[in-house]
Amino acid sequence: MHIAHGPLRCGKSCRRCDYLRLGLCSGCHPPKRNLCLAYQCIAGKVRIMGITLGCRTCPLAPACLKSGRFTPPEAGAYYKLSLMLESWSRSPPDIELPRLIPEIPLEDPVKPGKGLGIDGVIVSISDVNDENVKRVEEGGIHSFLNFDGQTLLSTIMPDRLLTEETFNFTVSFAKNGGFDGVVGWDMPVYIDYPKALNLSNLIEAMLLTIRYVEEGIPTIPLLKGGDPSEMALHSEWLRRLGFRRIGLHATEYVLARSRGGIKVHGSLAKIAEDLYSLGLLKIYEIGAKPLMVGALGPKALRDLYKSDAKASLAGMSWLIEARNWHAYTGTPSGLGIINLGRHFMECNCEACSGKSPNLIAESPDDIAWHNWVMLKEYAEKGELHEIPVYDMILEKDDCLGIVGDLHIGVPQSLWLPCLRMLRKIHPTHLVLLGDVFDFVKGKPKASQVVNFLNLLKSLGVHMRYASGCSDFDAPEFLEALARLAFANGPREPQLYNPHPTLVEAMRILTMLWRFSKSRIRVKLANGKVVVLSHGHELGFQRDARGEEIMEELVRNKNPNEIRVIGHYHKSLYRPGEGVVMLGAWRATTPEEKKTGFSPDTANILVVRGDGSMELVKGM
């Protein structure tokens, strides 16, 4: 069956064709038994994913013509649209848009910063009862955002809100809130929707879009369609209405072309790409300029930006990434991601200049505008420099404490005196330099694990954990977790009868395992970089001469670096050469007494942001 641009009857005696009843059918195939043209179900049954379902159990029933719960477009609605198209004499204003337009959610907005090259924004809404709605109605959207540029209201919202009641709300909200225009009206039209439902929604979208224009609201309509015939029909309507700027969803197209992450699967990906390309072609054919919605992300930005100099790109990916603590950076292949939940970046872009890297990493709004600047620069230049990344960045007044080799789990561990000493020093940052727990020769108790972390948290420091050889060897680590899980014996695992302390200890150990790193890089305010690792990776025996180990550190060291290791339980402090080896917070064991080995114990390296350092003896 094909939908015509006007009411043409095919003359077939199709008793079940509601399109024929409406006068919208331009030639359908001969009916086959009880064939329902809405969902291709035969004799009241439909086969979905290999399962035959009846009307009562069919998930598609709410939109099925035969179910009685879906009403196809009324002939009156279609005829009303036809009359409007025939008598239309208005010329909707041509809305000029900037090339890149950030989309901002009204419920949780990020307010545009000054001097970031933002000429316009699109405001989306997903809760018409949100308290920010009242604020906008009372003071206006420009005052609410503290932004004087072009501000449009998007009607792209959850399908459940796409009702006439919500439409009426958007009309008054756009006027009372002082918006410069709207994008929409949107209606659900999908590839896998029945044609009856798509047609009904397309008609309603057009009628309500016309009402925006009649209300005097500058409007950018959305071109929709679940197949080429629907796309052609809708674009013809928009042509006859005279729109010069038309929106097009690009989200599915971007996902279809994605090389990683969420993808549109299989044949749907090809359909999504084809429909997007067809939509662009239709917009060009009618002489309009496109607004690509959902395209303001790193996946396809450069290609879409270059596709047409008249096209505008809008979206929220830059903000969504920021809310997940992801910041954009340049890579050889385009745009990359910095996880600011685990790193700090040293950036001097327009959004970050003059701000503390530590504060930026704690502010999703700052990360968001950094992402916006990166997108804008990448779109214009086609490339970006890679932003330097560190595990910590110390400012001038910051203080870093470094301790290692606590070996919690053996009787000789001095972890409590270590934490008492840290409390006296009161560092702002802390690095645990490996072998904090001992899963090889010791058996950390759940109470020790929990108390250790709770006391660390009470220090209020920003902490990083370097993996050692006694606490992060996979078999020993898993065995330690098993000892906690089966604390009462293998027949009664604690996971089935959990004790809060045991569960918390397992969570802590797993968390430390997950976020540990073999090497930690700390940037100081004077430009130096402290590189910390446990030290076992150097390959020396435990009884190796300290001088020999230090020579290796100096030989492989960058002149701008300060190398710090532990592991060998010997303390060598050579700040002039930029190398330090820390002793342990563990007393001499019986085995060490037999061999005559005497570890250096209880020292903490303190490094300040200005580059000064000292080795503090704790006992």
DSSP character for 26?
Answer: S
Minimum mean pLDDT range among 4-13, 330-339, 551-560, 586-595: 4-13
Mean pLDDT, residues 133-139 taken together: 95
Pairwise pLDDT comparison (71 vs 508), residue with the higher score = 508
Distant-in-sequence, close-in-space partners of 260: CB < 8 Å, separation ≥ 6: none
pLDDT, the chain, mean: 83
Return phi, psi of residue 240, to 5°: -70, -25
Strand partners, 401: 430, 606
The confidence score (pLDDT) of residue 28 equals 41
Same fold, 90-315 and 399-617: no
Radius of gyration over alpha carbons of the chain, in Å?
33
Amino acid symbol at 252: E
Mean pLDDT, residues 47-56 taken together: 56
Amino acid symbol at 610: D
Pairwise pLDDT comparison (603 vs 26), residue with the higher score = 603
Minimum mean pLDDT range among 120-124, 243-247, 485-489, 562-566: 485-489
The confidence score (pLDDT) of residue 56 equals 61
Half-sphere exposure of 403 (CA within 13 A, CB side): 30
Confidence of residue 197 (pLDDT cuts 50, 70, 90): confident
Q: Where are the beta strands (DSSP E) in 340-461?
A: 344-345, 389-390, 392-393, 399-403, 429-432
The confidence score (pLDDT) of residue 578 equals 92
Q: In this predicted model, what pLDDT tens digit does every residue of 319-370 receive, in sequence order?
A: 999 999 999 999 888 888 999 988 999 999 999 998 999 899 989 999 999 9
Q: How far apart are CA 421 and CA 543, in angstroms?
A: 28
**3-class secondary-structure state, position 464:** strand
* Two structure tokens written together for 22: 């409406």
Angle between helix axes 266-285 and 228-241 (nearest 10 degrees) is 20
DSSP character for 538?
Answer: G
Q: How far apart are CA 309 and CA 307, in angstroms?
A: 7
Q: What fold is seen in the domain 90-315?
A: TIM Barrel (3.20.20)
Q: Quick check: 127 and 150 in contact, CB under 8 A? A: no
Annotate 80-122 with DSSP letters as a single string.
HHHHHHHH-----------SEEEEEESSS--PPPTTS---EEE
Q: In this predicted model, what pLDDT tens digit does every residue of 281-291 receive, in sequence order?
A: 999 999 999 99
Q: How far apart are CA 388 and CA 379, in angstroms?
A: 21
pLDDT above 90 covers a percentage of the chain that reads: 47
Cβ atoms within 10 Å of 391's Cβ, excluding its own: 21
pLDDT above 70 covers a percentage of the chain that reads: 84
Q: How far apart are CA 286 and CA 240, in angstroms?
A: 9
Does the domain made of 399-617 have the CATH classification 3.20.20.70?
A: no
443 pLDDT exceeds 60?
A: yes
User: Which residue in 439, 429, 497, 441 sits closest to 465, CA to CA?
Assistant: 429
* Two structure tokens written together for 609: 């942001």
Strand partners, 170: none
Q: Quick check: 329 and 374 in contact, CB under 8 A? A: yes
109 pLDDT exceeds 90?
A: yes
Amino acid symbol at 135: R
Amino acid symbol at 27: G
131 burial via Cβ count (<10 Å: 0-12, 13-18, 19+): exposed
Q: How far apart are CA 182 and CA 609, in angstroms?
A: 51
**3-class secondary-structure state, position 500:** helix
Mean pLDDT, residues 259-280 taken together: 70
Minimum mean pLDDT range among 16-25, 378-387, 388-397: 16-25
Q: How far apart are CA 437 and CA 415, in angstroms?
A: 10
* Two structure tokens written together for 542: 């435990």
Pairwise pLDDT comparison (178 vs 511), residue with the higher score = 178
Pairwise pLDDT comparison (268 vs 106), residue with the higher score = 106
Q: How far apart are CA 155 and CA 161, in angstroms?
A: 9
Confidence of residue 229 (pLDDT cuts 50, 70, 90): confident
Q: How far apart are CA 542 and CA 569, in angstroms?
A: 8
Angle between helix axes 164-176 and 131-139 (nearest 10 degrees) is 40
The confidence score (pLDDT) of residue 114 equals 79
Q: How far apart are CA 396 and CA 363, in angstroms?
A: 21
Question: C-alpha 227: how far from its chain's center?
Answer: 30
In the chain, domain spans: 34-71, 90-315, 324-390, 399-617
Q: Quick check: 204 and 77 in contact, CB under 8 A? A: yes
The confidence score (pLDDT) of residue 271 equals 79
Q: In this predicted model, what pLDDT tens digit does every residue of 5-38 receive, in sequence order?
A: 333 333 333 334 444 333 344 334 433 333 333 4
Cβ atoms within 10 Å of 244's Cβ, excluding its own: 16
| E strand or H helix at 149 | none
